[in-house]
């Protein structure tokens, strides 16, 4: 059968504009691989910061957006929200320049079908309008985060400490769980939310989620939207190629996992952006050592504030953790989560980590740091009931207790069964006839109709 993107008339190209962070690049590159497998040619227009590695995707065309972000990064060091807001201001014209390059290089018969852009890269939709091209938004966080963010626009700071449930939301999310992002000023964050919500020029929205997982949130978005919504996750399970990594994977941990008993290891990772205070890491390490559970612990360089790596941990404590544990700087996370030895995942609750964990039936300890992580953690603990939440300052006794609850107690076993049930539902959703499978085909149909 003919592949969709090479249909009857002309070959078709889709231009992807990812946001420059690991948790945003990965799902966009997976989407590229999926669309490529359907016959579309793929161009990735990227910012020169956290750039993707073209060698992982020899079939894609990579174009750097001709804008130098180094000055912005210097000024807004770590204030990624403000950085993203500034990108929106400066990058529309440079992105248009990329299109001149695409036009110069492409075969005359080829048609550019549309731009698919990360929700943070809203300048892309303005560029698409100028080029008279349709644009599609890719929201890389979950659909419950999207509707929760909207609630932030009408609240006062005092509301944000409240334990009460937010009445507009279909799930038991408290005001204090709302996805306020502290990597920038509140004013700039709210401006970014307004940008993200502006769908005036968009033809559709894609989510890396599954219908069964967020049915009520997706239904609410559909009721309130004038365009189709495509929940097509988990994309890493559908794409044939790996997305690549910004840091080098230490694969030696897989050999260490091979020597551990099934479901015995707690995998610990805080993703690619979050960082922790030294005192919290020390409490965490004591709690882990005292729990006597095997631990595979990713400490990303620089993620303990003020330190290069793990040199802040006292030698005796390191020995206690190492007795049953293994440290790496970056792990092949998807393979780690799929390993039979891994029985739990202590995570900052980035959306990709959750999708990856649920796809392998691994229950979680949730330690959200900022933004959507708080909504995700609440869904894990109170909606899907496959997570235990640890919030606020860490204390070694509490850490030890929580680790044991997840890894050795009946309560953890029950959560593992529920997580395995979700894994089965994930498998069904991506099979022929499943919801993500069908949604993906509908998305391809829409792009072909442009
Ligand atoms: N990741 C990885 N190895 C690690 C830590 C993280 O491959 O040691 C990947 C993980 O699989 C996920 C991404 O980095 O795809 C992190 O995205 P997430 O949304 O979980 O968190 P973020 O980094 O955006 O906060």
3-state secondary structure of 13: strand
245 CA to centre of ligand 1 in angstroms: 9
CA 108 vs. chain centroid, Å, equals 36
Distances (CA, A) of 223 to 108, 150, 218, 229, 433: 41, 15, 9, 10, 24
CA–CA distance, 265 with 4 (Å, rounded to integer)? 43
Pocket test for ligand 1, best of 246, 257, 271 (most atoms within 8 A of CB): 271
- Backbone torsions φ then ψ of 127, nearest 5 degrees: -65, -40
Q: By C-alpha distance, which of 85, 136, 121, 152 is closest to 375?
A: 152
Distance CA 236, CA 245 (A): 13
The whole-number pLDDT of residue 77 equals 86
Q: What pLDDT sits at residue 242?
A: 83
Query: What is the reported pTM?
Result: 0.96
Q: Where does ligand 1 bind, in terms of residues with CB under 6 Å? A: 21-23, 26, 245, 269, 271-274, 298, 330-331, 333-334, 350-353, 356
- Of 26, 31, 353, 358, the one to substitute when testing ligand 1's pocket (max ligand atoms within 8 A of C-beta) is 353
Domains and CATH numbers, the chain: 12-245+432-449 (3.40.50.2000), 252-408 (3.40.50.2000)
Rounded CA gap, 71 and 51, in Å?
16
Q: Supply the residue whose CA is at minimum distance from atom 13 of ligand 1.
A: 23
- Whole-number Å distance, alpha carbon 153 to ligand 1 midpoint, is 28
**The pLDDT value given to residue 2:** 45
Distance 434 CA to ligand 1 centre (A): 26
348 Cα–ligand 1 center, Å: 10
SS (H, E, C) 128-143: HHHCCCCEEEEECCCH
- SS3 assignment, position 344: strand
Instruction: Quote the ligand 1 centre to 364 CA distance (angstroms).
Output: 15
Closest atom of ligand 1 to CA, residue 373: 25
Instruction: Tell me how far apart the alpha carbons of residues 294 and 322 are, in angstroms, rounded to a whole number.
Output: 9
Q: Give the DSSP letter of residue 346.
A: E
3-class SS at 302?
A: coil
Q: What is the residue with the minimal CA distance to atom 2 of ligand 1?
A: 333
Residues 320-343 pLDDT 10s: 888 899 999 999 999 999 999 999
The residues with which 328 forms a beta bridge, in sequence order, are 298
pLDDT of residue 9: 63
DSSP letters spanning 395-429? -HHHHHHHHHHHHTSHHHHHHHHHHHHHHHHHHHH
Instruction: Report the atom number in ligand 1 closest to the C-alpha of 351.
Output: 19
Taking the centre of ligand 1 as the mean of its atom positions, its distance from the CA of residue 384, in whole angstroms, is 21
* Residue 111: per-residue pLDDT: 93
CA distances from 337 to 35, 178, 324, 416 (A): 26, 28, 18, 13
Cα of 140 vs centre of ligand 1, distance in Å, is 12
Which string of DSSP letters, residue by residue, matches 377-392?
A: HHIIIIIS--EEE--S
CA of 353 to the centre of ligand 1 (A): 6
Residue 417 confidence (pLDDT):
98
Burial class of residue 25 in the structure, from the number of CB atoms within 10 Å of its CB (0-12 exposed, 13-18 middle, 19+ buried):
buried
Segments of the chain with pLDDT less than 70? 1-9
Q: Which atom of ligand 1 is nearest to the CA of 354?
A: 20
């Amino acid at each position: 059968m003919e592949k969709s993107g090479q249909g009857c008339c002309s070959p078709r190209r889709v231009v992807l504009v990812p946001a420059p962070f690991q948790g945003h690049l990965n799902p966009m590159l997976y989407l590229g691989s999926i669309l490529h497998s359907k016959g579309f040619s793929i161009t990735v227009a990227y910012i020169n910061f956290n750039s993707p590695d073209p060698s992982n995707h020899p079939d894609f065309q990579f174009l750097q957006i001709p804008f130098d972000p180094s000055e912005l990064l210097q000024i807004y060091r770590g204030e990624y929200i403000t950085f993203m807001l500034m990108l929106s201001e400066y990058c529309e014209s440079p992105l248009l320049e990329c299109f001149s390059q695409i036009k110069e290089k492409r075969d005359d018969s080829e048609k550019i079908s549309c731009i698919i852009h990360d929700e943070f890269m809203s300048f892309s939709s303005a560029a698409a309008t100028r080029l008279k091209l349709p644009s599609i938004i890719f929201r890389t966080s979950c659909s419950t985060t999207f509707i929760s963010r909207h609630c932030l626009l009408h609240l006062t700071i005092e509301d944000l400490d409240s334990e009460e449930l937010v009445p507009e939301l279909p799930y038991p999310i408290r005001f204090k769980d709302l996805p306020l992002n502290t990597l920038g000023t509140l004013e700039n964050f709210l401006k970014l939310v307004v940008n993200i919500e502006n769908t005036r020029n968009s033809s559709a929205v894609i989510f890396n989620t599954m219908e069964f997982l967020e049915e009520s949130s997706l239904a609410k978005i559909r009721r309130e939207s004038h365009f189709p919504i495509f929940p097509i996750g988990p994309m890493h399970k559908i794409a044939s190629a790996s997305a690549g990594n910004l840091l080098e994977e230490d694969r030696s941990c897989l050999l260490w996992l091979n020597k551990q008993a099934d479901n015995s290891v707690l995998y610990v990772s805080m993703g690619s952006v979050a960082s922790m205070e030294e005192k919290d890491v020390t409490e965490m390490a004591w709690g882990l050592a005292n729990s006597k559970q095997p631990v595979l612990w990713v400490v990303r360089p620089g993620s303990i504030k003020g330190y290069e790596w793990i040199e802040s941990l006292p030698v005796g404590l390191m020995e206690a953790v190492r007795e049953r544990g293994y440290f790496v700087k970056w792990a092949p996370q998807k393979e780690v989560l799929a390993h039979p030895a891994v029985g739990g995942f202590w995570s900052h609750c980035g959306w990709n980590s959750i999708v990856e964990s649920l796809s392998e039936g691994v229950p979680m300890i949730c330690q959200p740091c900022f933004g959507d992580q708080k909504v995700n953690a609440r869904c894990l603990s109170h909606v899907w009931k496959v997570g235990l939440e640890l919030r606020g300052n860490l204390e070694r006794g509490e850490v030890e207790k929580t680790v044991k609850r997840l890894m050795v107690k009946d309560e953890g076993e029950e959560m593992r069964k529920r997580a395995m049930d979700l894994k089965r539902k994930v498998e069904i959703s991506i099979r022929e006839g499943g919801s993500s499978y069908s949604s993906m085909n509908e998305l391809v149909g829409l792009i072909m109709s442009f």
